[in-house]
Structure 1
Amino acid sequence: MLRGEKPLAHFADAEGGYPLSMLRYLRMFDRHVAAGQILRRDSFDQFPGRPDLRLHRILYALPGEEWRMEAMIELMRSPVWSATEERREGELLGYADWMNDWWIGQRCPVAP
């Protein structure tokens, strides 16, 4: 992100469920938030299939790319998931079309 190659990073786990190794990783991002180099947005939703848990999303974006955070949150709330949503996720994360094509080919192969 700091090289400007990727405009968005997205992490999700149960509220209070991020393992220590991930929390250390998130602290590295947060140092850059404190320095004003990237932005952070936290979002909470009901954890799918678990009424006792909340889903905690943490998103980081480059300045000027804040719109991607809200778009990603909205996308992740989609009740359906297909190659279209898979492609949109890749676009929001900043992957090139050829990368999305490859990934979708791996995740959503077309039946012969």
Structure 2
Amino acid sequence: MMLDRAKPLAVFADGEGQFPEAVERYLRLFDRHVADGRFIRRDHFSPPIEGRSYTLHHIFFALPGEQWRIDEMIELKSSLSWSRDHERREGELLGYEDWMNDHFLDRFYAKPNV
């Protein structure tokens, strides 16, 4: 979808040095497009915090001209709380349309039938 310019941002995250080999293969495929100038890559490391004993490694890939989304996503992900509004903003930064975010949020935050 990024090659078709339909998705402006992709994000991978895991503990530092803990990405599974399957994900490493995908990262190498993305890196080929970085080398060709089609994508921009940025790695971001978040130190351990209360409740998480490891360094969190985010890898961002953005289309040229869309790298502002990386900074905004890093800021969003640094929030110590998470809400429906955070979830919506994450979807927007990833390039999802409002109706897609609405559908996801309605399902994710649906109240269970009692």
Of 57-66 and 40-49, more deviation after overlay is shown by 40-49
CA distance in 1, matches of 2:14, 2:33: 21
CA distance in 2, matches of 1:19, 1:40: 19
Alignment of 1:41 with 2:26, yes or no, is no
Q: Which amino acid aligns with 1:55?
A: L
Unpaired runs of at least 5, structure 1: none
Residue pair 1:14, 1:54 contacting (<8 A) in 2 also? yes
SS in 2 for 1:50: coil
CA distance in 2, matches of 1:2, 1:50: 34
SS in 1 for 2:64: coil
Residue 107 (structure 1) shift = 1.2
CA distance in 1, matches of 2:59, 2:107: 26
Unpaired runs of at least 5, structure 2: none
TM-score normalized by structure 1?
0.94
Residue pair 1:12, 1:56 contacting (<8 A) in 2 also? yes
Residue 46 (structure 1) shift = 2.0
1:106 corresponds in structure 2 to 107
Residue 108 (structure 1) shift = 1.4
CA distance in 2, matches of 1:43, 1:63: 18
Residue 80 (structure 1) shift = 1.0
Distance 1:87 1:22, change over 3 A: same
Large movers: runs of 4+ above 3 Å = none
CA distance in 2, matches of 1:110, 1:70: 33
Q: Which amino acid aligns with 2:108?
A: R
CA distance in 1, matches of 2:48, 2:90: 19
